[in-house]
Amino acid sequence: MNTLETAENPEKLRRIAIDPVSRVEGHGKVTLLLDEDNRVRQVRLHIVEFRGFEKFIQGRPYWEVPVMVQRLCGICPVSHHLAASKAMDMLLGMEKLTPAADKNRRLMHYGQILQSHALHFFHLCSPDLLFGFDSEVAKRNIVGIAAAFPEVAKKGVLLRKYGQEIIRMTAGKKIHGTGSIPGGVNKSLSKEERKALLGEIYTMVSWSLEAVGIVKQLFESNREFFENFGRFDAKSLSLVRADGAMDLYHGDLRAREIDGKKIFDHFDYRHYWDVISEDVKPWSYMKFPYLGSLGPDEGWYRVGPLARISNCDFIPTPLADRERREFLEYDDGRAAGATLGYHWARMIEMLHAAENIKDLLHDDEIEGEDLIARQGERAGRGVGVIEAPRGTLIHHYRVNEEDLVIRANLIVSTTHNNQAMNEAIRQVALQYLDGREITEGLLNHIEVAIRAFDPCLSCATHALGRMPLEIELFDCEGEKLSSASRSSEGIFLAQ
Amino acid sequence: MARLKVATATLAGCFGCHMSFLAIDERIFELVEHVEFDRSPINDIKKVGECDLGLIEGGLCNSENVEVLREFRKKCRILVAVGACAINGGLPAQRNPIPLSVILDEIYLGEAGIAHGVIPNDPELPLPLNKVHPLHEVVKIDYFLPGCPPSADVIWKFLTDLLAGREPEFGPELLHYD
Ligand code: SF4
């Protein structure tokens, strides 16, 4: 593991902070500690916000959960909506959904993948990739892209819009909808909706293919740089379908070594805790998951597009599978292990999502009317796992006989990537910042590495920490609203 | 005509209100003819400057949120609470009845599967407030846009009304609270 996690004499070092990390979702900051020669001694990505979802969801009736938990994340609410629904399917013994329900949920999910990947690439990252990492700050946003590359910006915005329309039609609302319910869905696609979506889907497939081309060209234009930027070796984890195919809605867990050897395969996610453990570090609210059998130092891994593309045996849609093979073969697999390879892999997945949506729209069962599975035997717990845009997402609930949640554990995609993101920024710090005068452009290099993972930092904030501080909050009239402080044992005292 | 300067921030929110803003889709290209963005999570301006309009998503859950809010109030002529979280704390405020120490212990110490439980305590992490607060309890707020999130059309109507110098108004088809 990289040695830049903890410096020996932090008080003697100069601190530089990137605060907040921007063009990512949620709240994070990076701190760098440098010595007098500008040598980098410590680099950390801190997740600075507290939520406590797992706790306050306790006592709520289970059927509320799929709607509530979406409020963890407004970029990928559908992922939480569906992971929680899958957990509740299991709780009620309704895991075998009707074909109409299964297909409408998949349509919602792939619509989400399409919109989220488009948003991430075009709205958030394209400025770095198309203008350069140390280009002018004022230009580095979607407005700058719209001025310099109007066609690219337009297609990005419309791809996202199309994905959002699918979500609106299947979930009822573009953000925080209610379409999926325990055991099925509450509506299927109508004839008119299907027709409207079919009218545009071929354009979306071809624009997605173009997007893959954009990243490919970038790699070609500066091969050395793109392959080595923030590069590090990591294991990978994702769901795969029974036949080894990529399936972002359902499957079993597969983990691979750096050299591709399987660590485990087709592991039933309903027992995920047998293979995944979590570590805590005092400087971040985000936990550090690892493969339990390998321990925290060796067992950390990558999730998300890069992990999924190299983990699966094939992609079950033709254009995306062709792109997958090209990606894996590129320069003897050098792109598939590159931090910036995430962008390429993500665009291949966006293409797969578009192709998948096309197939679902051609399937008459998408209009089916049998929406709820027959109830089976009730279990005390439900586990739902899905491949969210950013990676494997785990929801786990225990529910009592009165239908109330008594325990919840969530491991969100970005949390799985915690160690990997820290590794990436430490590499970048060594490659580009070490020993140099730090400039804004250099600091943006760190953010570029974080953005490659498409982190969703608000999803990843479960809980709170212990700070040697005291705070008081006053209202507009100077009236004290609340105050909080800590005792030395780390017990939180609130008055 | 000078363009309206607009800053946006997300505090204790889920980013959904920002996502809803971006769901104005291609209208954004029209918007930027009249509006210039200052600090916002969608660009790299990290400190808010003098602005005409500040849009804030999310309530207040930690000391940093309070600092950012106060800074926005100082710099923005018009300050808007966007969405349920900013208006009443929203879903994150469901933690309010539970003492923080209870949540803390359970999540970092009490859970099966955690090898070395430790409660994060680094000075780099802002201190959480013992309760989640809505914005208007701490600073004066000029407008409230309800919804979780307010739809793109609400946000669009609000901005275009302001740009046209009209008092923003929403018909019943736009106003919703879910
Ligand atoms: S109001 Fe709703 S959409 Fe907006 S930040 Fe809060 S939870 Fe997210």
Residue A245 near residue A315, CB atoms below 8 Å:
yes
Q: Strands A14-18, A28-34: parallel, antiparallel or unpaired by DSSP?
A: antiparallel
Helix (H) / strand (E) containing B177: none
Q: Do B124 and A46 touch (CB under 8 A)?
A: yes
Instruction: Categorize the per-residue pLDDT at B152 as very low, low, confident or very high, splitting at 50, 70 and 90.
Output: very high
Domain-located, residue B47: yes
The predicted pLDDT at position B22 comes to: 93
Which chain B residues touch A79 with a CB distance below 8 Å?
none
Q: Spell out which residues of chain A touch residue B86, defining contact as CB-CB under 8 Å.
A: none
The pLDDT, as a whole number, for residue A216 is 95
Q: Count CB pairs under 8 A between chains A and B.
A: 268
Task: Please tell me the distance from the alpha carbon of residue B18 to that of residue A462, in angstroms, as a whole number.
Answer: 21
A157 and A8 within one domain: no
Q: Residues A292, A282: contact at Cβ < 8 Å?
A: no
At residue A394 the predicted structure's pLDDT band, cuts being 50, 70 and 90, is very high
Based on its alpha-carbon atoms, the radius of gyration of chain B, rounded to whole angstroms, reads 18
Give the model's pLDDT for residue B107.
75
Distances (CA, A) of A202 to A206, A321, A395: 6, 17, 34
Question: Inter-chain contact A283–B22, Cβ cutoff 8 Å?
Answer: no
Angle among Cα A207, A101, A170 to the nearest 5 degrees reads 50
What is the mean predicted confidence (pLDDT) over A262-288? 91
Q: What angle do CA A380, A384, A385 make, to 5 degrees?
A: 150
Helix, strand or coil, per DSSP, at residue A260: coil
Decide if pLDDT at B160 tops 60. yes
Domain with B142 in it: 4-100+130-163
For ligand 1, what atom is nearest to the CA of residue A71? 7
In terms of Cβ atoms closer than 10 Å to its own Cβ (0-12, 13-18, 19+), residue A159 is buried
Q: Which residue has the tokens 């710099």?
A: B75
Contact B32 A279 (CB under 8 A): no
Query: Which residues, listed in sequence order, are joined to residue A396 by a DSSP beta bridge?
Result: A383, A409
The helix or strand, by DSSP H or E, that contains position A193, with its residue range, turns out to be helix A191-221
Residue A407 and residue A263 in one domain: yes
Are A245 and A291 in the same domain? yes
Tell me, using a 6 A CB cutoff, whether residue B23 lines ligand 1. Answer: no
Residues 6+ apart with CB under 8 A from A281: A288, B118, B120
The region, left, alpha or beta by phi > 0 then psi within -120 to 50, assigned to residue B58 is: left
Question: Which H/E stretch holds residue A458?
Answer: none
Residue A457: inside a domain, yes or no? no
**Distance between CA atoms of B155 and B165, rounded to whole angstroms?**
15
- Cα–Cα distances (Å) from A330 to A191, A220, A317, A334, B178, in that order, read 43, 10, 20, 7, 47
pLDDT score of B127: 82
- In sequence order, which ranges of A7-149 are alpha helices (DSSP H)? 53-56, 65-68, 77-91, 99-118, 126-131, 142-148
Distance of CA B51 to the CA centre of its chain: 16
Q: How confident is the model at residue A488 (pLDDT cuts 50, 70, 90)?
A: very low
Torsion sign (Cα): A425, A306, A410, A125 = positive
* Ligand 1 closest atom vs CA B16: 3
Residue A158: CB atoms within 10 A of its CB come to 18
| Minimum mean pLDDT range among A5-9, A162-166, A325-329, B159-163 | A5-9
- Write the ipTM: 0.91
- Ligand 1 centroid–CA A55 distance in Å is 19
Residue A13: count of CB within 10 angstroms of its CB: 18
Q: What is the Cβ-side half-sphere exposure of residue A444, based on CA atoms within 13 angstroms? A: 22
User: Using a CB-CB distance cutoff of 8 angstroms, which residues of chain B are in contact with residue A494?
Assistant: 99-101, 130-131
Flag whether B118 is in a domain.
no
Please state, for a pLDDT cut of 90, what percent of chain A lies above it: 66
* Number of folded domains that form chain B: 1
Residue carrying structure tokens 């993500």 = A346
Name, in order, each residue with C-beta under 8 angstroms of A473's C-beta and a sequence gap of 6 or more. A480, A481, A482, A483, B60, B66, B129, B133, B138
Identify which of B10, B17, B65, B94 to mutate to test ligand 1's pocket (most ligand atoms within 8 A of the CB). B17
pLDDT band at B156 (very low <50, low <70, confident <90, very high): very high
Phi, psi of B6 (to 5 degrees): -125, 130
Whether A9 and A75 map to the same domain: the answer is no
Q: Which atom of ligand 1 is nearest to the CA of B84?
A: 1
Highest mean pLDDT among A239-248, A272-281, B111-120, B169-178: A239-248
And the tokens for A366?
A: 């998408």
pLDDT at A142: 87
A222 by DSSP, 3-state: which?
A: coil
> Is residue A459 a part of any domain in this protein?
no
Strand A40-47 with A262-267, pairing? unpaired
**Closest chain A residue to the Cα of B95, Cα to Cα:** A56
Q: Which residues contact B110 (CB under 8 A, 6 or more apart)?
A: B117
- Is A463 within the bounds of a domain? no
A161 pLDDT band (50/70/90 cuts)?
very high
Spatial contact of A477 and A489, defined as CB atoms under 8 Å apart = no
Q: Can you tell me which atom of ligand 1 is nearest the CA of A175?
A: 3
Q: What confidence tens digit (pLDDT) does each residue in B76-117 have?
A: 999 999 999 999 999 999 989 988 888 877 777 765 555 567
* In a shared domain, residues A412 and A443: no
Whether A145 has a pLDDT exceeding 60, the answer reads yes
Please report the pLDDT score of residue A322 as a whole number: 98
Rounded to 5°, angle at Cα B115 from B111 and B116 = 95
Closest CA to A160 of A118, A208, A196, A199: A118
Query: Inter-axis angle of helices A77-91 and A150-171, to 10 degrees?
Result: 30
- Ligand 1 in contact with B91 (CB < 6 A)? yes
The CB of B16 under 6 Å from ligand 1? The reply is yes
The answer to whether residue B94 is domain-embedded is yes
| A contacts of B26 (beta carbons < 8 Å) | 154, 157-158, 161
DSSP state of A385: E
pLDDT computed for residue A343 by the predictor: 95
Residue of B nearest to A459 (CA): B14
Q: Is residue A287 a contact partner of residue A274, using CB atoms and an 8 Å limit?
A: no
Range of the domain at A109: 53-420
Ligand 1 atom with least separation from CA of B58: 5
For residues A312-332, give the mean pLDDT: 97
Q: Nearest CA to A465 among B105, B89, B116? A: B105
pLDDT grade, residue A469 (50/70/90)?
Answer: very low
Mean of the per-residue pLDDT values of chain A: 89
Number of neighbours of residue B176 by Cβ within 10 angstroms: 14
Residues in B closer than 8 angstroms to A473, CB to CB, are: 60, 66, 129, 133, 138
**Is B145 among the domain residues?**
yes
With contact defined as beta carbons under 8 Å apart, do A239 and A371 qualify? no
Distance between start and end Cα atoms, chain A: 42
The answer on pLDDT for A489 being more than 60 is no
Distance CA A140, CA B168 (A): 31
Q: Is B13 in the pocket of ligand 1 (CB under 6 A)?
A: yes
Average pLDDT value for residue range B153-159: 96
Average pLDDT of A366-379? 95
Q: How many residues are present in chain A?
A: 495
Specify whether A256 is located in the same domain as A175: yes
Dihedral sign, CA of A26, A117, A185, A201?
Answer: positive
Establish if B109 belongs to a structural domain.
no
A456 exposed, middle or buried (CB, 10 Å; 0-12, 13-18, 19+)? buried
- Amino acid identity of residue A131, one-letter, is F
Out of A22, A277, A464, closest to residue B100 by CB: A464
* Amino acid making up residue A65: V
Say if A456 falls within a structural domain: no
Note whether B121 contacts A54, CB cutoff 8 Å.
no
Q: Which residues pair with A485 in a beta bridge?
A: A470, A493
Residue A87 confidence (pLDDT) above 70: yes
pLDDT in tens, A35-69: 989 899 999 988 777 677 888 889 999 999 999 99
Task: Say whether both A341 and A302 belong to one domain.
Answer: yes
Q: How far is the centre of ligand 1, averaged over its atoms, from the C-alpha of A80 (Å)?
A: 14
pLDDT score, position A26: 67
Question: What is the number of structural domains in chain A?
Answer: 3
Q: Calculate how far, in angstroms, residue A441's C-alpha sits from the geometric centre of ligand 1.
A: 32
**pLDDT tens profile A247-261:** 999 999 999 999 999
Residues A1 and A116 in one domain: no
Of B18, B44, B107, the CB nearest to A52: B107
Residue A280 has pLDDT above 60, yes or no: yes
How far is Cα B124 from Cα A30, in angstroms, rounded to an integer? 10
Q: Which of A22, A30, A49 to substitute to test the interface with B, most B CBs within 10 Å?
A: A49
**The tokens of A185 are what?**
């869905």
Quick one: A114 and A41 in the same domain? no
Evaluate whether residue A465 is within a structural domain.
Answer: no
Answer whether B55's CB lies under 8 Å from B6's CB. yes
Q: Please report whether residue B174 resides in a domain.
A: no
CA A94/CA A90 separation, integer angstroms:
6
Neighbour-count burial of B111, counting CB atoms closer than 10 A to its CB (0-12 exposed, 13-18 middle, 19+ buried): middle
Instruction: Output the pLDDT for position A1.
Output: 45
Reading the block at residue A122, the tokens are 């075009």
A411 and A481 in a single domain? The answer is no
CATH number at B87 reads 3.40.50.700
Residue with the nearest Cα to atom 6 of ligand 1? Answer: B85
Ligand 1 pocket, B17 CB below 6 A?
yes
Question: B143-145 and A14-18: which strand pairing?
Answer: unpaired
Comparing CB atoms, the residue among A49, A465, A494 nearest residue B99 is: A494
Q: Find out whether the beta carbon of B84 lies less than 6 Å from any atom of ligand 1.
A: yes
Q: Evaluate if residue A487 carries a pLDDT over 50.
A: no
A92 with A157, same domain? yes
The verdict on a CB contact (< 8 Å) between A282 and B100 is no
Does A131 lie in the same domain as A4?
A: no
A288: which chain B residues are within 8 Å (Cβ-Cβ)?
none
Contact A365, A99 (CB under 8 A): yes
Task: Determine the Cα–Cα distance for residues A220 and A217; give it in Å rounded to an integer.
Answer: 5
pLDDT, tens only, B96-105: 998 888 887 7
Q: What is the mean pLDDT of chain B?
A: 90
Task: Please check whether residue B110 lies inside any domain of the structure.
Answer: no
Contact A52 B95 (CB under 8 A): yes
